[in-house]
Structure 1
Amino acid sequence: MLEMIKRFPEQILEAIRIANESQIRTLNIPITEVYVAGMGGSGIGGDFVASFFRNHLKVPYIVNKGYDPPAYIDKDSLVIVSSYSGNTEETLSSLNQMMSTGARIICVASGGKILQIAKENDLDFIQVTSGWASPRACLGYSIVAQMFILKKLGLVTLDFESELQSSVQLLKDETENIQEKAQHLAKALFNKTVVIYCSDRIEPVALRFRQQINENSKRLCWHNVIPEMNHNELVGWRKNDESLAVLFLRNQDDRKQNKLRMDLTKDVVSHFAGTTIDLISKGNTLIEKCLYLVHLLDYVSLYLAELNQVDVVEVKVIDAFKAQLDLNK
């Protein structure tokens, strides 16, 4: 896993090359929404793209992480089916159901049944590099492929490729600092149940870190967003619990009111949690800041796994769970 995390900047560059070389046919009619079907590391790529392009896309960008597509998918829909392995059960179910809708479907996969279906049915696709041992380490492929699909179809005009390039340079320049900061942060979070708070603008980062703690560090974790949690979860902070560590992800470009809400939220929870920590993003753009935090927090999850003395790669319970599903089909 260490080598896979180290290769994240290079994966972004490789994903840019693959996406640039992929052939995506133009849209024949205007679309009413972009719909992404994907699970886990493939699905969360859609969450990042939705956040990156929120102020640029003129149609909704909807991410579904389940078996069944909504009834509104039709000939006016653009569908992106994303699965690193190409064999994700829920995503395959969605794809099969949408084949008869007339929607414009584009697939992103390294192989598997999804790529086979795309080729057999003359669907456009982006085939990413296979061979990565952990699909969750392939986030760069998912994000970049979806971004380029939107660019090639003329749905975004933002010069995001330069932002991706500058993000890679930032990660390379900050490598030593990122690893050192991640080690300190992992020690502060060790033996704690981690709670992550951030603004709604960078929620995909919090979700990513939560899932990395689950899979890599083998610990439970939860996250919530400001301002929404100020209307409900804030009330739950009523008893001292030294086992809780609250990580506040700070984005310098958050609106003024959310920065104030973050400060006031920290004032409340600091009376009850064992640890509160601020983590400030680096970078000049939202893309840079999010990818910086992703890379840093991926390292944190790795170092936490080492402190917990667990195998960072294995996900035996998920494998056993899938085997039970297969037996009961």
Structure 2
Amino acid sequence: MFLAIIHMSKIYNELYEKISPGSGNVDKSRMLVNVATFPDSLLHALGAYFRVPKLLEKIPRDIKGIVISGMGGSFIGGLFLQDVLYDTSNLPIFLVRDSILPQFVDSSYLLIAVSYSGNTEETLRVFGEALQRKIPIISVTSGGLLQKYSEKNSVPVVSLPQGFQPRAAFPYMAAALLSITETITGDVGLLKQLSECAENMKATRDEALMKTIEDAKDFFSNIEKGLTPLIYSYRPYISVGYRFKTQLNENAKIHAFYLDLPEANHNEIMGWRQEASDKFFATIIRGSQEQYYMTTRIEFLIKHLEANNIPTINFLPEPRYSGKKICELLDLVFRLDLISVATALKLKTDPTPVDTITKLKKHLEKHIDVEKELFPQERP
């Protein structure tokens, strides 16, 4: 164990220097280390959630669909799950990024309320509405009001470890949601795939870390020129593309924008003209699940971008994961998370703090007493 710690410390130091000399001094809360230990977190989460089936014994199995409520970093796990099951499961998965629970959701559906802090106002409102409608609920949280009122109302809680930024807890959220889904649907094999992927990622981590930074040189170069990334992906890589956009926002503190294909080809493509060449660059996330009709569209898009001198970057999962959807998704998230942190360090920005979001939360807390509003009868 001691030798392993020494080895990883050496790798981290080498990685910091490869990104930018002295960048370890910028990363005060060691977000880079959190990203580098992504495979370990996945494996730890798998061990932590072996009790989920017993925890959910009273949750009905004959449901019409799963509704996942979450915001920000707590939303990505639901989008990941939707990507995983989109073309294989007969059970629909609806995502709610709002304060309102859709009217069609009744007691025949299952709500999974995801809030890392447990104090996300929008998610608490959806949770409170679900309680009133007698909808089965599972909460995924590290504490806060969501855990408090889940326990008061006998709602099962799948606990997330404390001490993370919400976005950094993605491995635990992903594992928790796969565990819940496998338990509810009986679709065994999801966790086995996750375990195999995590083991492989851990075994090849050192090489992947260094190679990712090398492969991202063109991306870094465009950022340092002041260009803004417009990111594209398609099903089943929508969660990866959207995650990369939000990671660049929160880690690097820069604007980045995302739209999925083929929708982008029906509108956004019109904005790619010569005048955009000194403002934006395109980043396309691709994988082995790409159908020929999607390839045809992307080939046209790339030619159009090249004709207008728009820089274009492609990111693909490692070839060894080809055909394994969960592995491809996790590999891409792992490496693009690393690129988002490396982008921050190249810009001499500490990736961890999110000061503006913190200010917003304090502003909301000052003007909105969500506990008093939603649970007036249950307060001591």
Q: Is residue 104 of structure 1 aligned with residue 143 of structure 2?
A: no
The structure-2 alpha-carbon separation of the partners of 1:320 and 1:188, relative to structure 1 and needing over 3 Å to count, comes to: same
Identity %: 26
Measured after TM superposition, the shift of residue 27 of structure 1 is 4.2
Query: Which residue does 1:93 correspond to in 2?
Result: 125
Task: Tell me if the contact between 2:140 and 2:158 (Cα under 8 Å) persists in the aligned partners.
Answer: yes
CA displacement at 1:29 relative to structure 2: 6.1
- Give, in angstroms, the shift of residue 60 of structure 1: 1.3
Q: 2:344 aligns with which of 305, 322, 326?
A: 305
Q: Which residue of 205, 226, 231 maps to 1:175?
A: 205
Larger radius of gyration: 2
Contact 1:170 1:292 in 2 (8 A): no
SS at match of 1:190: helix
Asked if residue 255 in structure 1 is aligned to residue 291 in structure 2, the reply is yes
State how far apart, in whole Å, the 1-side matches of 2:136 and 2:91 are. Answer: 15
Where does residue 63 of structure 2 map in the other structure? 31
Q: Read off the aligned partner of 1:272 and give its amino acid letter.
A: N
Q: Which of 315, 320, 325 is matched with 2:359 structurally?
A: 320
1:41 aligns with 2:76: no
Structure 2 counterpart of 1:144, from 155, 166, 175: 175
Q: Deviations over 1:12-59 (max 9, x none)?
A: 112212221231115446211210111111111000001101123222
The 3 A distance-change label for structure 1 pair 318 and 29 is closer
Assess, with a 3 A threshold, how the Cα gap between structure 1 residues 195 and 136 changes in structure 2: closer, same or farther: same
Q: Contact 2:262–2:297 at 8 Å: present in 1 too? A: yes
The aligned counterpart of 1:190 is 223
Number of residue-to-residue matches in the alignment: 327
Select between 10-19 and 272-281 the one with higher mean Cα deviation.
272-281
**TM-score under structure 2 normalisation?**
0.82
Name the stretch that deviates more: 189-198 or 36-45.
189-198
User: 1:189-220: CA deviations, max 9, x gaps?
Assistant: 42221111122321110000000000001110
CA contact (8 A) 2:178 2:191 kept: no
Find the counterpart in structure 2 of residue 122 from structure 1: 154
Q: Which residue of 1 aligns with 2:280?
A: 244
Distance 1:239 1:325 in 2: 42
| Paired residues of 1:15 and 1:144 also in contact (CA < 8 A) | yes
The one of 85, 88, 109 aligned to 1:56: 88
Q: Report the 3-state secondary structure (helix = DSSP H, G, I; strand = E; otherwise coil) of the residue aligned with 1:93.
A: helix
Which of 79, 86, 89 is residue 111 of structure 2 equivalent to?
79
Conserved? CA contact 2:99–2:126, under 8 Å: yes
CA 1:95–1:221: 2 relative to 1, 3 Å:
same
Q: Which amino acid in the other structure matches residue 210 of structure 1?
A: K
Structure 2 contact 182–190 (Cα < 8 Å) conserved = no
Distance in 2, matches of 1:84 and 1:190, equals: 30
SS in 1 for 2:312: strand
Letter in 1 for 2:49: A
Task: State whether residues 244 and 274 of structure 1, in contact with CA within 8 Å, keep that contact through their aligned partners in structure 2.
Answer: yes
The CA deviation at 1:166 is 1.9
**1:100 CA drift (Å):** 1.2
Q: Are the counterparts in 2 of residues 182 and 303 from structure 1 also a CA contact under 8 Å?
A: no
Q: Does 1:7 align with 2:37?
A: yes
Q: Give the secondary-structure state (helix, strand or coil) at the position aligned to 2:33.
A: helix
SS of equivalent to 1:119: helix
Distance 2:337 2:286 in 1: 17
Contact in 1 for aligned 2:274/2:310 (Cα 8 Å): no
8 Å CA contact retained: 1:216, 1:301: yes
Q: Is the 8 A contact 2:124 2:146 kept in 1?
A: yes
Q: Counterparts of 2:230 and 2:207 in 1: how far apart (Å)?
A: 24
> Could you tell me which amino acid in structure 2 is paired with residue 55 of structure 1?
D
1:227 Cα deviation (Å)? 1.2
SS of residue matched to 1:34: strand
**Cα distance between partner residues in 1 of 2:67 and 2:134:** 13
The amino acid of 1:188's aligned partner reads: S
* Counterpart for residue 264 of structure 1: 300
Residues 194, 246 of structure 1: 8 Å contact kept:
yes
Unaligned runs of 5+ residues in structure 1 are none
Offset, 1:188: 3.2
The letter of the residue matching 2:329 is C
Amino acid at match of 2:284: F
Q: Residues 277-292 of structure 1: matches in 2 within 5 Å?
A: 277-282=313-318, 283-284=321-322, 285-292=324-331
Change in Cα spacing, 1:224 to 1:156, as seen in structure 2 (3 Å) is: farther
